Structure 1
Amino acid sequence: MASIEKLHILRFRNLNDQYLEPNKKINLFLGENGQGKTNLIESIYYLSHNRSFKTKNTRELIPFNEDFIQISAFVDSLKVVLKKSKTTNSILIDDQKIATNSKLTQHLPIQIISPDRGFVVGGTPKLKRSYLDWGVYHEKTEISKTYRDYNKGLKNINILLSKNSSALEDWFVQIAPLSVEISIARKKYIDKLVKILDSNHFKKLSGLLDLNSRFELRLQSGWTKDLDGLEKEKVYDHLVNNKALYIKTKYLSHGPHKASIDFSLNKQDEVFLSRGEQKTASIVFWILQVLILVEQNNSPIILIDDISSELDQKKINLLIDFFVGLDVQIFITDIGNTLISIDEKNATTFEINNGHITRKEH
């Protein structure tokens, strides 16, 4: 399992030179609003992804009168250091510079549950693709190159479509197999999610919703309804046959970059679920991704921000007990601990006040 043994936040938002040694199981961070709880969660996420789940603007992360952010950690005895300024970016793993974020994510798998992230059930197609591709990547890390090549091809095709270029079909030849590889990987991952819905692990989670809840999900490939996108010859033929349409719209309006997921609960489409049902179902589907990695002996670190705003007391305690049973490391933030019942043998509590993190002695 992935585990952060030591964490040093030199500079990140209002966190300055904060050092802690987390518990291998539960880490609970308490503090009033605006003290830095979400910043802590964001910093750990940033160390894993080299990006924030809250903003695309690096300047928002750099403290006032400073020039850079820096976060470092020992993860399963590997030292990971990320330093980023407004113009430069440096990632080191055991003092070796790495060029791609995929290596970073591979060494530090993170699953996050946060109101700032948005909810996948009832969410946008972009958020659903992000959910899906997180799972696909952790199933098959080498596929990151396929995604990069596909996005490069897509960019070139869209440029050529605006010019009605004769080179379009050459790019169709290149992008068709890349598209199929992505679609097949996504379908296989959806099949895994469906399978784990029937597992004993999931039955233990059923307390998050009523016991009779039935979850269903289906992949929308991003192609037209008559094309599943799983055969490169058919994808290529579709692109050639619809070239005039794409030239007219001046962009490729079908493909994996337009994929989505359809969710339902007890045969009810996600759009008709209440906001509370969408929220709880999203949490369940994020946890399903954790279960898949746990079964593959690649347990991720779990980040849960502002937990009492997302779940009631019963669900919070059920969820914590569930994670303890999975043997994963968890970082949880909350405004107070009145709702949370934790076994002190498995947990460490910290307090955050104006960006300063201190261990709470029981």
Structure 2
Amino acid sequence: MSAPDDTKDSTATKDVKNSRSSKANRLDLVQRVALPFAWLLLIVGFGIANPSVFLTAATFQTMLGSQAVLLVLTLALIVPLTAGDYDLSVAGVLTLSAMMVAILNVQHGWPIWAAVLAALAMALVVGLVNGLIMVYFGIESLIVTLGMGTLLTGITLWASDSATISGISQGLVEYVIVKRFAGISLAFFYAIALCAVLWWVLEYTSIGRRLLFVGRGRSVSKLSGVRVGRVRVGALMGSSVLAALAGVLYAGTSGGADPSSGSSLLLPAFAAAFLGATSIMPGRFNPWGTAIAVYFLVTGITGLQLMGVQSYVQQLFYGGALLVAVALSQLARGRVPLDNG
């Protein structure tokens, strides 16, 4: 006599599970598209408020091309962030990279390609030193990279005598900012190409899986045979190389190097990295979410400035975005903190 009741209970249980699964899928979809949708709403809102200035090809071409350096720097950040580490030295690497290219090319007559290679080699060494100190001395990445970033800033000021150096080879400038496609500087397309490459590495290679595994739980990763220290060191080396590429783009964009160029980009990069972790692949630092976050933020700032809001809105926007983004990314991770063991 109990068989029909058992069947009814089983059917009811399945219905409840299916309903919960459907709700979870809808929530996941909403999380994935929330930021792109908010970006679209932002564009529509500023377009309605100021159509004659905001809704022009020149405005969008400028927004897309001007943020290439920030996008590449943010991509640099998400590599160690995926592994559960912070790299505060990326701004210093960017600045020193741009300055090395300028000094070697302008003052010492090096070919531009040789100067770029030297900057990338410097970045590899910086990332390696960061990683070795962090892993073998057991010091938190936040402290190590903060100290390294300050050291690199001092080296840059010393090497440049605190002066801006201009006159970089026209070859670099031409292929970064002068030449355009669809009215947009090539720097934008370089940044998007790097975005695609990093997405492929994180999604479809063993390197990406190890980074994610280590970021989710280092103790479990160690027990599973993953060389956690090697992964963390590699993440910081990759981060430094990408930051150096951002410095090369900066040098090509400006035609020179400023000894304080990277300091203003660190906060926006962190804001975009955490905001991007709430989109496309919620709960994970991902390149496409990062790209959308960068352009969402610049759209808001540009729209407000075109409406006459004073320049301090940039600090307000980036600072507020970072606070909100960190909270949202933590919620997207299911309120589970990273295991730093």
What band does the TM-score fall into relative to the shorter chain? under 0.3
Q: Would you tell me which structure has more strand in proportion to its own residues?
A: 1
Q: Would you tell me which structure has more helix in proportion to its own residues?
A: 2
Q: TM-score, normalised by structure 1?
A: 0.23
Q: TM-score, normalised by structure 2?
A: 0.24
